[in-house]
Amino acid sequence: MLSNLGSLHLNGNMLKGNLPSSLKNCSSLQILDLADNIFFGNIPLWLGQFSELMILVLRSNKFEGHIPHQLSNLSNLHVLDISRNSLIGGIPPQLATLISMRNSTLGISHGNGGSSYYYKEGIQMFNKGLQMEYVSLVMLLITCIDLSVNNLSCNIPLAIGNLKGLHTLNLSDNSLTGEIPSSFGMLTELESLDLSNNKLHGKIPNEMLQVFSLSLFIVSGNMLCGKIPEGSQFNTFNSTYFLGNSNLCGFPINNKSCRCGERSNSSISTPLPEKENDEGGELPWNWYVEWMTSVAVGFWGVFGILAMKRQWRRRFIEVLDEIVINLLNFNW
């Protein structure tokens, strides 16, 4: 009976089409692994009805549309991998209500007989940038959300900071905007955080220093600025984790620019005109008008004085003659 099916692995079979609605009958599913196929269409809303589902892997398919907020109804879910699809829109803030990821200590699932149920089969997941295979009890001790390599946009919901039992969060290779939420400082169990290749801006929140278990923190390929937090685990991070953020500075990168939208004191005074700007452009037209006006006033002022006084004209011509003779006789 499909209603008694506890684990379904169909990964890597080149299956194609929409997810069959007959899967709704698998009400006892605890593992659903459909990775590396060609399933397309929207992620079905009825997946949120699997109250016992613990692991949902839809990685590397052709799913599109929005992430259904109904997935937040999966109270036992502790692995959500829907990476490498064509999903759009924002990250549903409702995901922050996933009960099994809000607790810092995970319990062990029990089978129908009340005894502890251990999965004997393995499942592949990406963790800390590497593809790993987890088996048996280890799978029950991992909490993971992987939404990477999609077309997600908008800000990262502040509520994600409530998932205090989360170990791995991968939001890389999307188009997420806004700042890194300071609420991430509450993710005290977090070991891996990948936010690379998005459109995030602002400073790295100092609250991240409170995540002592963090061993991988990648924010490369964004628009972050300011000084990288110092101390604890941040003193161990590689400089490649921060590449592509031209206005970040501090250890472990050598960039001296820490601009972060603030105006410096020197910018308050009126700048002097320069011949060219940094990009080789021309000066403003009003500068040329002022310059030509000054030249004209000076010329006609001198001409007017010489026109009124014959003696001054004669002396002016004598001075010019002396300058010309001196220049001709000068030994260059």
Buried b (16+ CB within 10 A) or exposed e, 51-74: ebbbbbbbbbbebeeebbebbbbb
Flag whether pLDDT at 324 surpasses 80: no
Per-residue model confidence (pLDDT) at position 308: 61
- Please provide residue 31's backbone torsions phi and psi, each rounded to the nearest 5 degrees: -130, 130
Amino acid residing at 144: C
Highest-confidence range of 59-68, 114-123, 317-326, by mean pLDDT?
Answer: 59-68
pLDDT in tens, 241-276: 999 999 999 999 988 778 787 543 433 334 444 444
Mean pLDDT over residues 129-151, rounded? 71
Residue with tokens 């036992």: 76
2-107+115-261 is classed in which CATH architecture?
Alpha-Beta Horseshoe (3.80)
Contact 133, 123 (CB under 8 A): yes
Buried b (16+ CB within 10 A) or exposed e, 17-29: eebeeebeebebb
Mean pLDDT over residues 87-104, rounded? 93
Distances (CA, A) of 75 to 26, 71, 165: 17, 9, 13
Retrieve residue 155's tokens: 């800000």
Per-residue model confidence (pLDDT) at position 319: 63
Flag whether pLDDT at 307 surpasses 80: no
User: Distance between CA atoms of 99 and 233, rounded to whole angstroms?
Assistant: 28
In three state form, how does the secondary structure of 174-229 look?
CCCECCCCHHHHHCCCCCEEECCCCCCEECCCHHHHHCCCCCEEECCCCEEEEECC
User: Helix, strand or coil for residue 313?
Assistant: helix
pLDDT in tens, 190-230: 999 999 999 999 999 999 999 999 999 999 999 999 999 99
Sorted by where each begins, the domain ranges of the chain are 2-107+115-261
Q: pTM score, two decimals?
A: 0.73
